[in-house]
Structure 1
Amino acid sequence: MRDLNLKATEYFEAVARLGTVTKAAEELAVSPSAVSQQITGLEAQLGVRLFRREKRRLVLTLDGDRLFQTVTQAFGAIRNARSAISHQQDRRNLLIRVSPSFGVRWLGPRTFSFASENPEWNIRIDATPDFTAFQSESVDLDLRYGLGTWSGLTVTPIMHDQVLPLCSPGYLAELRGISDDPVEQLRHARLIDSVKMLFRWDLWLAANRVDIPEVEYPFRFDRSSMSIELAKQGGGIALDSVTLCLGELQRGELVPFSTRWPVLDFPAYWFVCPPRHMNRRIVKRFSDWLARACAEHDEAARWYLTGQGCVLREGAPTELIDVKPWGL
């Protein structure tokens, strides 16, 4: 490649594609003589004739056709890529990084609402469990799940999470056929473990003083969306997020396992970005829209849970992690 004259190859491709030196010169914005000189130099470099003249027309030789078939695809791909990049630069883009389950189950269905208010912007959502390294990545903001302890960044709580055991109505009826006691039901239940949740079964059982001699998890998932889906199908009880399955609860596809224990209610979702990013108009606009959407969701979630007879237990996550009893 170091020996290949790329300019001459570009001129050759234009002549072969357009059929004449004059048309190629017009496209390349050079003189016809400059094009001819480059073609002559390329033929000398390769040691073959690339064109032959027939009745004032340039016709590709066998070697010329072989070269043209290769380079025209290459230059076509380059032109397409350049066009796509230029078009992308002409549009304004907002890049958001979000945890996979939250992105699929909560943000994704609401994205069009924001996009319809901002049609001049392209919205890209990168669903990954990895947080953005803002010093080296071109991401506008993160929507993170966690405790909110990220230093050096603007960290704004956007939504509480409500966590409780959830299952399908059919599976709950099956457990009630074993016993009327929720503790005894848990001892016979298939527990679904969401391994990325802040509060998992071992913590929940200990803090609620539920004694299960041998806790087993026939199902473990690293995505809450998978745990919720299995619970909806009657596969077991998931200790998971109302934020991610409010629709299933409202439709009756999932139900609270029991109202005997309080619902964990704590700030879990955060708007995170470098302070300087808040000066960007689109980031501020998205932040304002997100605050409204999250407030609407929080109100709907609390309305549902209280309507089911659930009691919400608010508390600092660090306190809960200390495995203190969650008595009312």
Structure 2
Amino acid sequence: MAAAADNGDATPNVSAPATPGTPGAPLFSSGPRVDSLSYERKSMPRCNRCLPLDSWAAAASPACFHDLPRPDVSLTRKLGAEFVGTFILIFGATAAPIVNQKYNGAETLIGNAACAGLAVMIVILSTGHISGAHLNPSVTISFAALRHFPWIQVPAYIAAQVSASICASFALKGIYHPFLSGGVTVPSVSITQAFFLEFVISFNLMFVVTAVATDTRAVGELAGLAVGATVMLNILIAGPLTGGSMNPVRTLGPAVAAGNYKKIWIYLVAPTMGGIVGSAVYTSVKLTDENGETVMPRTPRQARSFRR
């Protein structure tokens, strides 16, 4: 944040620290906003409108709240896409086991897994270019923890996902009443087994999601197919034991609609922990960036989610 001094003579330009604050500047400007899908700190002209965050550290270039790239999609549209996408996912993934209960196993385990996997696939293909199609608080938190997504947008994304899950669950309750209990994920094994099973399948999911969402060398155009197949595989493995949630809102919405909160903490904690570890492991395995250069542990990385 350097201001070039020009007084009309031959005096060379000198650099000086910016003055904290500018009188008369609006508190909330209509300037740049964060693009949650391609979050990257770029070299931009400084705004001189905010306090230097590290002035006490005598840094050469104090940070600025407004030093963010201009987005190509507004946050409101991203949240709208995230709400609709999560609604479709929860409706499809929860309806299958409800139908299975109502018609005495007509869907079977393969049908339940296919419904969830297909729902994930079609939502990623249809809304991935708008919101990134997280559809899952564990995915959002994992991306943020690994610096692929701005923390400032995490609460809004989670609010959209939770509200969509609850809306979808009450819609299912109205349509399939009184068979909603079939869509609630409740473990049929011990707490320890259920926790580690949800942890492992969430690890698997987030490892694949991080690969196809943040690495251009992975199959970008087939991201929806890869993630959907992973969801289907995980449900085939864990469906009879825990329901194969992998997603806190997959459990939370039906639990609220059915009033069944049995061992719900497992489905809130285990997927988030497994997701963070899965994302971290892929980030560690990915030793070089797209240009073949070594990626430093704290270097901000470009996050593409499911955009290409």
Smaller-chain TM-score bracket: under 0.3
- Which structure has more relative contact order (CA 8 Å, sep 6+)? It is 2
Could you tell me the TM-score, scaled by structure 1's length? 0.21
Is the radius of gyration larger for structure 1 or structure 2?
1
- Kindly indicate which of the two structures has a greater share of residues assigned to helix: 2
- Kindly indicate which of the two structures has a greater share of residues assigned to strand: 1
Could you tell me the TM-score, scaled by structure 2's length? 0.22
